[in-house]
Amino acid sequence: MYLKRQVLFLAFLCAFGCNSATQDANTSKPIPDSLIVHTGTFEKALKEAGASSKHLVTILSKKDCPPCEILQEYVKKDFAIRRYANDYLFYLFEEGSSSNWLNQCFYITASPTAIIFSPKGELETIISGARKDIFPKVLEAVISKDTGAMYSGSRTRADIEGAALISVVRKSYQAQQYEKDTSFTAALEQAHAQYPYFYNAYQLSKRYALQGDSVKARLFAEKALAHNSPPELMLYQSLRNEMKTLLHPDYDATKEPHITFAHNHLDLGAFPVQQKKEIVFTLKNTGHKPLRLKDVIVSCSCLSVEWPRKNIPPGSSGEIKATYNISKAGSFNQYAYVISNAVNSAELLTIKGRVN
């Protein structure tokens, strides 16, 4: 009998004491031990967030990205994030998915990046990187409408950040969501005047083309193509071809040079410090016009490259030789942009490994 009373007493303590430690102090709802990060389409995510009256956190990620893996694990397991399970819905979108337009719209090339939307689908803010010091603070700021803290992690490839960045990309996002609504055109022009980048010029060109204003459509197509930094060439390749076709209806991308690499990504494995590593990337012109490499831009002075200076005829091959000079131990992930006259005018090469 005594043992039975003890068991009942312990069960009573667990029911009231244990659960109170895992409940949301504001809603009294339980906080899960592990937060679910969903996958699916952006449209599905918006619909689910709206139906549950939760804010939506979309995490833009990619494969073989250690910071992405760190952020995903942090979001799933850390109490600082789990405590917001009743306020937020979390979705993961990997590079190459149907959500790539989010990267294009918000001018995002770095992973991971989180974009937060309201339950109504309105853009709230952006968090760049896997920063544990900022992530929970921004989640709290969105709930409490603290605009001072809400934009503290808002950075992309744009030259502006914080509230100014969100103001510009919010208009691009609205124009994307309501593509056929002409009332958003004026706001988009204001955003372009405030901070022009490829995507808002591209959107304006497409909008004016739909409205039958070929003069303005061509004007903004030219403005869009004038944005030709390596990240923009990478991010907007297919959209750039659209703009070229708008300006030159007889443009045929299949007749242009095309650069194809045997491998874009190389894992060098583990090797000793102070040892130079030589890497060769083999390329081929799989297009129909001579290929000309214009530049190879590297991420670090520790990486030196040599590339063909002469034109590469259709069907012919060439090599980009890279030397990695190692000065300290640890994991590394370096990259190089290959800029050319090809239809895929910016290709990304990555090199990773570990120095022991």
Note the pLDDT tens digit of each residue in 191-210: 999 999 999 999 999 999 99
Tell me the Ramachandran region of residue 293: left when phi exceeds 0, alpha when psi lies from -120 to 50, beta otherwise: beta
pLDDT digits (tens, 9 = 90+) for 319-332: 999 988 877 788 88
pLDDT at residue 165 tops 90: yes
What is the residue-wise DSSP string for 266-328?
A: EEEEEE-TT--EEEEEEEEE-SSS-B-EEEEEES-TTEEEE---S-B-TT-EEEEEEEE---S
The whole-angstrom separation of Cα 11 and Cα 5 is 10
Instruction: Tell me what pLDDT residue 21 has.
Output: 46
Radius of gyration, alpha carbons of the chain: 25
Pick the residue with more confidence: 99 or 157?
Answer: 157
Average pLDDT (74-100) is 90
pTM of the model: 0.82
